Structure 1
Amino acid sequence: MAPRKYQQVLRAEAAEETRRRILDAVGQCLREAPTEQPSLGRVAELAKVSRSTIYADFGSRSGLFDAFVVDLWERTGLGELGRAVGATDAREHLREGIRAASRMKGGELAVYRVLHAMDRLDPESAGGAVRHMETDRRAGVQSLAEHLEREGELREGLTVDEAVDALWVLTSFESLDLLVTGRTHTVDEAADILVDMAERAVCRTPGAPAASSRGA
């Protein structure tokens, strides 16, 4: 490798290592002080960089939290969730989608809990990162309800909008967290409970005829 190219590779690796330390520092702040908003000064201290380095890499506090959430998704199971929601069978879409999303959140339960709490108390504190997560979840729930409707799997008399409402509650972080922390279930147990509740709430009983309006 030519010396110039080699130096470029080294710089790229150093930049990626710095970025990794900064993102890890955000997670450390959220775990160590869940009741406090993580300051850029504390993040910089933990990552052993200057605040100006954070701004240079991420542009703003909002950009830092957006990048942190994307990294969090990727580390905790975004790929698995993508495969689950791509299922051609609507019931499989529901079951595996809820299980994958639950495992994804359960992998960093404390971090997701702090992010959601920050968004409830001060929507600007996390730079809109949680709202971006919830926008994606809203689209996913809508897609699932429509998939169930197309395959005639919705409970008789239930509209797509009503199914979306039920699924919105059952796929929320709060529903998972209540079962894990309030009822001391494991993440997998909680996921199975949520799957069962979702099927009972929105799906027709197995063996029952599909509504005539389905798929029309």
Structure 2
Amino acid sequence: MSRRYVQRARAESARETRGQVLEAARAALLAEGRLELSVGEIAAAAGVARSTVYATFGSRAGLLSALADETLQRAGLDGVIAEYRQPDAVTALERSLAASCRMYAADHVVFARLLVLARIDPDAAVPIARSQADRAAGMADLARRLEAQRRLRAGVTPERAADVLWLLTGFWTFDELFVGRGLAADACADVLLGIARATVLAKGSHPEQPTPA
């Protein structure tokens, strides 16, 4: 048996174990009537030892961070990022906002429980804080791009625009429409984009049509 074969087999086994543990953690998070994640229970559900969980993820915080990252990737974060990178700022706003709504809808319950868990569990708070910081930085950058392309409404500063965009792209804002009003993901995006047009974007501002100075 070659050394390369052994290394490949070990890597595949490690990936399989990682996937099993993450699926068990996801199932535990979705369990009704509780909001806690025990490494011991997750390990048992995944059919591995507690020590294997720690060897794979480093710590309970590492496990929750991996679960948050896996949830974002599974739900479509790459698509949100791709739309955000559109060169035209209004196009980037419109498409990334719609993609964000579809992402939130794709794994709505898991997103909601992770965010609630982060309020009471320091281990869960770490990845959520990182994700929120990334979103805040992204909205500040998008607001600056809108200003540079002369697409901000008169009197709206990039700082104020970033605050509004932060609110409009948040999960709980989406949740109010998706759950509270029973709207589909794309309908939620339409409402949120309408608010952006009324409060942040220059009147008559459309994709690839800069507002005259």
Q: Report the TM-score range of the alignment, normalised by the length of the smaller protein.
A: over 0.9
Cα distance between partner residues in 2 of 1:181 and 1:145:
28
Cα distance between partner residues in 2 of 1:207 and 1:19:
47
| Residue 113 of structure 1 pairs with residue 118 of structure 2 | no
| Residue 157 of structure 1 pairs with residue 155 of structure 2 | yes
Give 1:33 shift.
Answer: 3.7
The letter for the 2-side match of 1:79 is D
Cα distance between partner residues in 1 of 2:32 and 2:56:
24
Q: Which residue of 2 aligns with 1:8?
A: 7
Q: Which residue of 2 aligns with 1:186?
A: 184
Distance 1:144 1:35, change over 3 A: farther
TM-score, with length taken from structure 2? 0.92
Cα distance between partner residues in 2 of 1:28 and 1:57:
18
Give 1:150 shift.
Answer: 0.6
Secondary structure (helix, strand or coil) at the match of 1:83 reads helix
Cα distance between partner residues in 1 of 2:163 and 2:123:
27
Give 1:25 shift.
Answer: 1.1
Cα distance between partner residues in 2 of 1:16 and 1:129:
21
**TM alignment of 1:55-70, pairs within 5 A:** 55-70=54-69
The letter for the 1-side match of 2:132 is E
Cα distance between partner residues in 2 of 1:49 and 1:103:
34
Distance 1:127 1:207, change over 3 A: closer
| Residue 200 of structure 1 pairs with residue 201 of structure 2 | no
Secondary structure (helix, strand or coil) at the match of 1:178 reads helix
Distance 1:11 1:211, change over 3 A: same
Q: Which residue of 1 aligns with 2:29?
A: 30
Which deviates the most, 66-75 or 146-155? 66-75
Conserved 8 A contact 1:118-1:125: no
Q: Aligned-residue CA RMSD in angstroms?
A: 1.8
Unaligned runs of 5+ in 1: none
Conserved 8 A contact 2:64-2:123: no
Q: Which residue of 1 aligns with 2:166?
A: 168
Would you say how many aligned residue pairs link Structure 1 and Structure 2? 210
Give 1:141 shift.
Answer: 0.7
Conserved 8 A contact 2:101-2:189: yes
Q: Which residue of 2 aligns with 1:97?
A: 96
Runs of 4 or more consecutive aligned structure 1 residues displaced over 6 Å after TM superposition = none
- How far does the alpha carbon of each residue in 1:83-131 deviate from its partner, in whole angstroms, 9 at most, with x for none? 10111111101101111111112110000000111122x2504151111
Distance 1:125 1:37, change over 3 A: farther
Which of 126, 144, 147 in structure 1 is aligned with 2:145? 147
Cα distance between partner residues in 1 of 2:35 and 2:205:
52
Cα distance between partner residues in 2 of 1:34 and 1:144:
40
TM-score, with length taken from structure 1? 0.91
Cα distance between partner residues in 2 of 1:64 and 1:138:
24
Conserved 8 A contact 2:21-2:43: yes
Secondary structure (helix, strand or coil) at the match of 1:55 reads helix
- How far does the alpha carbon of each residue in 1:164-208 deviate from its partner, in whole angstroms, 9 at most, with x for none? 111111111001111111101111211221122122210011169
Distance 1:89 1:56, change over 3 A: same
Give 1:3 shift.
Answer: 2.8
